[in-house]
Structure 1
Amino acid sequence: MSTSDGHPALEIELKLAFPPEARDRIEAHAVFHGPRAAGPRSGHQVTTYFDTPDLALAREGLSLRVRAKDGRRIQTLKSETAANGAAATRGEWEWAVRSGRPDASLLLGTPAAAHAADRLEPVLITDINRTTRMLTLGDTEIEAAFDEGFIRTGGKELPVHELELELKAGPPGPLYQLALTLHADLPLRLEPEAKSTRGYRLHTGRPPAMHKTTKPDLAPDVSAADGFRQILGAGLGSLIGNQPAAISGDPEGVHQMRIAVRRLRTALALFKPHLEPHTTVRFGEQLRRLGQVLGEARDWDVFTLDTLPAALDAGPMHDLLAPAAQARRQAAGNAMREELARPNLTGLVLALAAWAEDETLMLDAAARTARLVDLAPGLLDRLARKVTRRGKHISRLSPPELHKVRKSLKKLRYAVDDVAPLFSAKRVKSFRKRCTGMQDELGSINDATMAVTLVEMLASDSQPDRIPAIAAAAQWGDKRRQKAMRKLPDRWAEFRDAAPFWR
């Protein structure tokens, strides 16, 4: 809802999808009964979403709807925010209206103001039976809403079976704890897409879109706890937000989920001296395991779509290896989709989000009272020292040793991105440039090494007609690796001589 001064309220909610046959079992859960739960209220909601003929509002991350409920009509504008955590966070403006069509004059003073004079037409309808209960958990009030019905557009429809948990008042920690409690007992999974997003996809026929990870915009005086929470939230938002694209087979969706896992692991590594160790180790193990599954799918995506065409061009040799590579890619993609469909991902995201909201479980006493800008130099020093130690005598290192240097450098680079708003932009840019140069060469070496590894896996399939093509692809990988190795000492010297901007 909009506030009295015209600014939007922030809506914070979790969407948890469930199989239709599980509705009664979920609603019978003890958390929805007893003194902490108000009685249920049921109603029927028909909501029409409007947009310009060219869907300009959707392109700008806005949704405009008119909802008929209890004899009233409510016009609502919502704005997408950067993915930031397990829960969706959106700006929301709300007005009572008399008509079933939006009042465009109300859009003045909102992000949709530029479209107040545009023609607005209905795009999709959601037809939902909703049952709500208010839950009081300490100082936190949560609205739990069971939504079942359909999203309809152009003669097509999608079923909806989901539980929405919306924070109405108080701190968000109990929201995540409630979701964790329910998830432990019931078949629930996080639904990262709003109904409107799913409806627009149904309308256009487009697959789910990937979302690049956004860097947290930390305030200069942010506390260590809030800084860690925001950094973790950005990674979690990207992880769960790219799940639909990854499941649909979009290579960039897989790539962004893998990056999100790396960023989350970096956050744990950066703050490690101040984090509760037992919890940190277990979260790290879960993230590493997820990263391995995503990594295998990503490696075969790159090999099949990029490496083979570059190494062999279009021709007979490429055609000999492409079917086998595609089969491996399909198998890795299927394994990834099976992993993402399991309950583990939802449990991991909710657990990390709940943990980040409890400072006493998350951080030691020193960090709980410190500003992040005061802790960051020591934290970055640790990561930088690890890169320097692993990169010593870099021209003599084996491919596995270079891979370790690359992983440590990536962690440093991600950590630099995370805390960059706390320091001089000019000095950060200079240091980041040195990191990027080094990263590019190590990336080329890793890609070439991986190409040879995957080619050798194809060779193990015992198809003699592939041998010449396999040899050609391996030779291409070796040449590329040698070229990058020649540049590596200079890039290493540039990086090693870079002045740390945090000192």
Structure 2
Amino acid sequence: MSRQHKETERSYEGALRGPISAAGLPGVASVRTGTTQRLDAVYFDTPDLRLLRRGVTLRRRTGGPDAGWHLKTPQPDGSRTETRLPPDGRRNRPPAELTARAAVHARGGRLDAVAHLRTRRDPTLLLDEGGCTLAEIDRDAVSAGLIGPGGTTSGAADWTETEVEAATAGPRLLDAVEERLLAGGLQPSASGTKLGRALHDRLAELPAGAPAARPAGPDAPESAGDCLTACLRTHVAALESLDAAVRLDEPDAVHRMRVHVRRLRSALAAHQRLLRKGSVDDIDDELRRLGRILGRARDAEVLGRRLTTGAADLPPDLGPRTTCELLETVFRDRYETAWRSAVQEMRRPRYFALLGTLEDLAADPPLRGRARRGRREAGKVLARQRKRTARRLRAALDLAPGHNRDEALHRARKAAKRARYAAECTEPLLGKPARRLAQRTKRVQKALGAHQDGVVGERAVRELAAGAPHDVAFRLGVLHARQRRDADHHVAVAAKAGRKLGV
């Protein structure tokens, strides 16, 4: 099982002569010299170094207190998340879990050994009054060789560097140590990592890769375009961060990724007048396709949970336990089939191409001139979405109960969701009006979502009952009758909430 921890470290070229003193270092009561370590690490990457170009490193290391497999990924605050797995006896292929976690960065490329680094590490520990380690200063003598096709090693290079890694220390101590090191003649490392230094020449020959840290939206947006840009960057980053969780089938991962896909589509649709005409049509098509693929797994998960919960409330003489077991088996199989299909799709070039396109979109959205306008333009976006929701809900409520009304209510629900997402997107600029619209449309969305769950549940039970043994069909018939028992209530709640939208 993997372990994760947050790593905050700084690297410097060269090493101080002589010991470092605790004097003047905030919170440091004493300094202790640690035991010399000899570290041997093989790093893995794609032939075109896709991991390294995104600030990611994957290695197998022996020696030291944390021998094993390590995957390090950069975070927006400058730290890195390190995922560790213990040694497994394999030398040439990374573990499946780390391969899955690195897939979004490798973009489908094969991971092979690219460098072999040997390090002699002489650590110095900075301790507080209780003897606990605040930070560690490591003097590293490094010997690096490049690994080419067939495992041949060449291009050996040697250098000395200093690493400072926080244990419990904050930026204040790290800044003080840095001041001491710079005064001693050291310079911040140009590469940031040992692997980056070892592969510097090879890296320089390759085209620029995606940035390790994507730009964030403005802290205080001044225009409708600023709001859209920040929204796109937030959800693209979130979608990519969930890639590994979906591949590893972590709880709720499929649902969360699907939500971010939907939010991206909603943002593009609601703000289409701010974007150059036709500039995001292909992106929307690809997002819709990905959403449908993820939706098959998510729908099986949600529907199975709903029907199993309902079956548990059946009368004792209808065998609620047996019915629950039947439903759990059916929908577990459906979920696993759909999840495997989704992961298979996420291994294809088409999926990785979409991620690259989304990164480009978030970095530089194709905004029109009107996107530079402020509150008034953002207000127009919300007004259009509010009216669209009210119009669809009004049309649905005018229909007689039946299939057509169910479909119309579902369309109204999707409109309410888009309006809600647009309001949340513009809230940093518009404040209370956007927050109020988000709350109102969320009420409509939630009520109509409960109604739609009943419609889908009814349809699913009917399909399951067709051709089932008589006793099973009878139990499912009772469950079928219960799917829509609260339908009128949900519609009434949506209608009441809709009146504040102008319905």
Same fold per superposition (TM over 0.5) = yes
Q: Classify 1:346/1:105 alpha carbon distance in 2 versus 1 (closer, same or farther; 3 Å).
A: closer
Superposed displacement of residue 252, structure 1: 1.1
Look up the match of 1:376.
378
Look up the match of 2:310.
310
The answer (yes or no) to whether the contact 2:410–2:448 under 8 Å persists in 1 is yes
> What one-letter code is carried by the residue in structure 2 that aligns with 1:422?
L
> What one-letter code is carried by the residue in structure 2 that aligns with 1:459?
A
**What are the residue-to-residue correspondences of 1:183-332 with 2, within 5 Å?**
219-313=219-313, 314-332=320-338
Alignment of 1:409 with 2:416, yes or no, is: yes
**What are the residue-to-residue correspondences of 1:74-153 with 2, within 5 Å?**
97-98=138-139, 107-109=169-171, 131-132=199-200, 133-135=202-204, 142=208
Rounded to whole Å, the distance in 1 between the matches of 2:246 and 2:429 is: 33
> What one-letter code is carried by the residue in structure 2 that aligns with 1:364?
R
**Secondary structure of the corresponding residue to residue 222 of structure 1:** coil
Rounded to whole Å, the distance in 2 between the matches of 1:410 and 1:351 is: 25
Q: Classify 1:242/1:316 alpha carbon distance in 2 versus 1 (closer, same or farther; 3 Å).
A: same
Structure 1 length normalisation: TM-score?
0.59
Candidates 419, 425, 430, aligned match of 1:423: 430
Alignment of 1:353 with 2:359, yes or no, is: yes
The answer (yes or no) to whether the contact 1:239–1:257 under 8 Å persists in 2 is yes
Q: Classify 1:110/1:334 alpha carbon distance in 2 versus 1 (closer, same or farther; 3 Å).
A: farther
The answer (yes or no) to whether the contact 1:45–1:69 under 8 Å persists in 2 is no
Candidates 346, 358, 369, aligned match of 1:365: 369
Q: Classify 1:131/1:433 alpha carbon distance in 2 versus 1 (closer, same or farther; 3 Å).
A: same
Q: Classify 1:74/1:455 alpha carbon distance in 2 versus 1 (closer, same or farther; 3 Å).
A: farther
Alignment of 1:344 with 2:345, yes or no, is: no
The answer (yes or no) to whether the contact 2:423–2:438 under 8 Å persists in 1 is yes
**Residues 260-294 of structure 1 deviation map (CA, whole Å, 9 limit, x = unaligned):** 01110011112211223333111111111111111
**Secondary structure of the corresponding residue to residue 407 of structure 2:** helix
**Residues 431-451 of structure 1 deviation map (CA, whole Å, 9 limit, x = unaligned):** 333222222211110111111
Rounded to whole Å, the distance in 2 between the matches of 1:421 and 1:476 is: 43
The answer (yes or no) to whether the contact 1:449–1:477 under 8 Å persists in 2 is yes
**Residues 158-187 of structure 1 deviation map (CA, whole Å, 9 limit, x = unaligned):** xxxxxxx6569xxx79xxxxxxxxxxxxxx
The answer (yes or no) to whether the contact 2:224–2:426 under 8 Å persists in 1 is no
Look up the match of 2:392.
390
Q: Classify 1:276/1:449 alpha carbon distance in 2 versus 1 (closer, same or farther; 3 Å).
A: same
Rounded to whole Å, the distance in 1 between the matches of 2:167 and 2:297 is: 49
**What are the residue-to-residue correspondences of 1:25-104 with 2, within 5 Å?**
26=48, 97-98=138-139
Look up the match of 1:438.
444
Q: Classify 1:312/1:483 alpha carbon distance in 2 versus 1 (closer, same or farther; 3 Å).
A: farther
The answer (yes or no) to whether the contact 1:227–1:372 under 8 Å persists in 2 is no
**Secondary structure of the corresponding residue to residue 478 of structure 1:** coil
Q: Classify 1:358/1:234 alpha carbon distance in 2 versus 1 (closer, same or farther; 3 Å).
A: closer
Rounded to whole Å, the distance in 2 between the matches of 1:364 and 1:372 is: 13
Superposed displacement of residue 381, structure 1: 1.9
Rounded to whole Å, the distance in 1 between the matches of 2:364 and 2:166 is: 43
Rounded to whole Å, the distance in 2 between the matches of 1:323 and 1:437 is: 33
Q: Classify 1:468/1:246 alpha carbon distance in 2 versus 1 (closer, same or farther; 3 Å).
A: farther
Superposed displacement of residue 371, structure 1: 4.1
Rounded to whole Å, the distance in 1 between the matches of 2:46 and 2:212 is: 22
Alignment of 1:334 with 2:314, yes or no, is: no
> What one-letter code is carried by the residue in structure 2 that aligns with 1:386?
R
**Residues 280-323 of structure 1 deviation map (CA, whole Å, 9 limit, x = unaligned):** 11111111111111112111101112332234435233233332
Residues 99-108 or 391-400, more deviating? 99-108
Look up the match of 2:157.
none
**Secondary structure of the corresponding residue to residue 282 of structure 1:** helix
Look up the match of 2:94.
none
> What one-letter code is carried by the residue in structure 2 that aligns with 1:243?
D
Q: Classify 1:469/1:44 alpha carbon distance in 2 versus 1 (closer, same or farther; 3 Å).
A: closer
Rounded to whole Å, the distance in 2 between the matches of 1:234 and 1:385 is: 27
Residues 272-281 or 316-325, more deviating? 316-325
**Secondary structure of the corresponding residue to residue 391 of structure 1:** helix
Superposed displacement of residue 399, structure 1: 0.8
**Secondary structure of the corresponding residue to residue 171 of structure 2:** coil
**Secondary structure of the corresponding residue to residue 392 of structure 1:** helix
Superposed displacement of residue 411, structure 1: 0.7
The answer (yes or no) to whether the contact 1:312–1:472 under 8 Å persists in 2 is no
Rounded to whole Å, the distance in 1 between the matches of 2:425 and 2:322 is: 46
The answer (yes or no) to whether the contact 2:304–2:327 under 8 Å persists in 1 is no
Rounded to whole Å, the distance in 1 between the matches of 2:63 and 2:390 is: 58
Rounded to whole Å, the distance in 1 between the matches of 2:357 and 2:378 is: 25
Q: Classify 1:166/1:387 alpha carbon distance in 2 versus 1 (closer, same or farther; 3 Å).
A: closer
Look up the match of 2:472.
466
Superposed displacement of residue 95, structure 1: 9.1
Identity of counterpart residues, as a percentage?
22
Flag structure 2 segments of 5+ consecutive residues without an equivalent.
1-8, 13-43, 54-58, 67-76, 84-116, 125-134, 141-161, 176-192, 314-319, 400-404
Rounded to whole Å, the distance in 1 between the matches of 2:281 and 2:122 is: 51
Structure 2 length normalisation: TM-score?
0.59
> What one-letter code is carried by the residue in structure 2 that aligns with 1:131?
L
Superposed displacement of residue 111, structure 1: 11
Superposed displacement of residue 225, structure 1: 4.4
Q: Classify 1:226/1:73 alpha carbon distance in 2 versus 1 (closer, same or farther; 3 Å).
A: farther
Look up the match of 1:455.
461
**Secondary structure of the corresponding residue to residue 492 of structure 2:** helix
Q: Classify 1:467/1:235 alpha carbon distance in 2 versus 1 (closer, same or farther; 3 Å).
A: same
**Secondary structure of the corresponding residue to residue 279 of structure 2:** helix
> What one-letter code is carried by the residue in structure 2 that aligns with 1:373?
R
The answer (yes or no) to whether the contact 1:294–1:336 under 8 Å persists in 2 is yes
Rounded to whole Å, the distance in 1 between the matches of 2:457 and 2:337 is: 18
Rounded to whole Å, the distance in 2 between the matches of 1:325 and 1:236 is: 30
Superposed displacement of residue 387, structure 1: 0.8
Rounded to whole Å, the distance in 1 between the matches of 2:426 and 2:122 is: 45
Rounded to whole Å, the distance in 1 between the matches of 2:472 and 2:330 is: 10
Q: Classify 1:371/1:462 alpha carbon distance in 2 versus 1 (closer, same or farther; 3 Å).
A: same
> What one-letter code is carried by the residue in structure 2 that aligns with 1:107?
A
Look up the match of 1:188.
none
Structure index of larger Rg = 2
How many equivalent residue pairs?
356
Alignment of 1:486 with 2:488, yes or no, is: no
